Amino acid sequence: MSIHLERDLESLEQDLLAQSSLVEEMIRMACRGLVERRRGLLEELLRHEPEINRREVLIEEECLKILALHQPVAVDLRRVTMVLKANGDLERIADLAVNLGERNDAIASFPQLELPDFLERMAEVAIGMVRDSLDAFVELDADAARRVRRQDDEVDHLNRRLIELVYEVVRESPHLIEPALHLFSASRHIERMADHATNIAEDVIYLVEGEIARHRHDPLPSPPPGSPPL
């Protein structure tokens, strides 16, 4: 690898990490505002969005420039590919934070709708997945990336619990249908954030091992000796 290619790759990866910090700040703001029913959150999130979009375009342009000028191969090509794909996932996570801000302003107008106590846990796991997927990238840690993938199951489980709660509200409290549907959308936005974090984790596995991990399930642990067959 040439010195110029390594320099450009390191600069590119630093740009991605800076972008991830801004995105993580946005989703923390959105999730905290939802749990606390904070009004006026959407305007604050919208002020961050143009900078996220600007950085996303610059990172994509840098990826294309590296591909054109250096024509990387093997692991260097995977590095550029990983950054290009993760860059798109981060921008979509930021969009979801804005969407969550929209739902929050609607939910905050109906204080009589109780928020489930596990909503905060769901948000914390999703935020942690975004952070941990980028940490796995920095450390080139495929095992950490696989742990992020497994955390997605918890977010999916909590999302299903919230959907069941929304059904119950719709049946028993018709006057709360509107905020209940906003809560349904908010949960879906958080679940999608976790999905994008999973995408980044799978890209880390690809970067480190050259294995495309999408649509593959991690193997279950072996049962202890003497256990009945499944």
- What CATH number is associated with residue 145? 1.20.58.220
Closest residue by Cα to residue 214 from 115, 85, 77: 85
Identify whether 75 is part of a domain.
yes
Identify whether 229 is part of a domain.
no
Residue type, 220: L
In a 3-state reduction of DSSP, which class is residue 95?
Answer: helix
Closest residue by Cα to residue 86 from 23, 31, 154, 139: 23
Phi/psi of residue 117, nearest 5 degrees: -65, -20
Model pLDDT, residue 229? 42
Phi/psi of residue 165, nearest 5 degrees: -65, -40
Identify whether 225 is part of a domain.
no
Model pLDDT, residue 230? 33
pLDDT at 227 over 70: no
Are 176 and 112 within 8 A, CB to CB?
yes
Identify whether 222 is part of a domain.
no
For CA atoms 194, 200, 204, 206, the dihedral sign is: positive
pLDDT at 195 over 80: yes
Considering the chain, what percentage of its residues have pLDDT values greater than 70? 93
Model pLDDT, residue 54? 97
CA distances from 35 to 8, 48, 108, 188 (A): 41, 20, 10, 15
The whole domain housing 184 covers 3-209
Closest residue by Cα to residue 87 from 55, 65, 45, 64: 55
What is the distance between the alpha carbons of residues 17 and 82, in angstroms, rounded to a whole number? 13
Model pLDDT, residue 220? 41
Model pLDDT, residue 40? 85
Identify whether 189 is part of a domain.
yes
CA distances from 107 to 42, 118, 161, 211, 216 (A): 12, 16, 18, 42, 37
CA atoms lying within 13 Å on the CB side of residue 174: 0
Identify whether 230 is part of a domain.
no
Model pLDDT, residue 214? 72
- Higher-confidence residue of 85 and 38: namely 85
Average of pLDDT values for 147-163?
97
Domain count, the chain: 1
Identify whether 183 is part of a domain.
yes
Average of pLDDT values for 187-194?
98
Model pLDDT, residue 213? 74
Residue 217 pLDDT level (bands cut at 50, 70, 90): low
Residue 225 pLDDT level (bands cut at 50, 70, 90): low
Closest residue by Cα to residue 110 from 173, 160, 188: 173
Identify whether 227 is part of a domain.
no
Which tokens go with 138?
């920095």
What is the distance between the alpha carbons of residues 11 and 7, in angstroms, rounded to a whole number? 6
What is the distance between the alpha carbons of residues 78 and 88, in angstroms, rounded to a whole number? 16
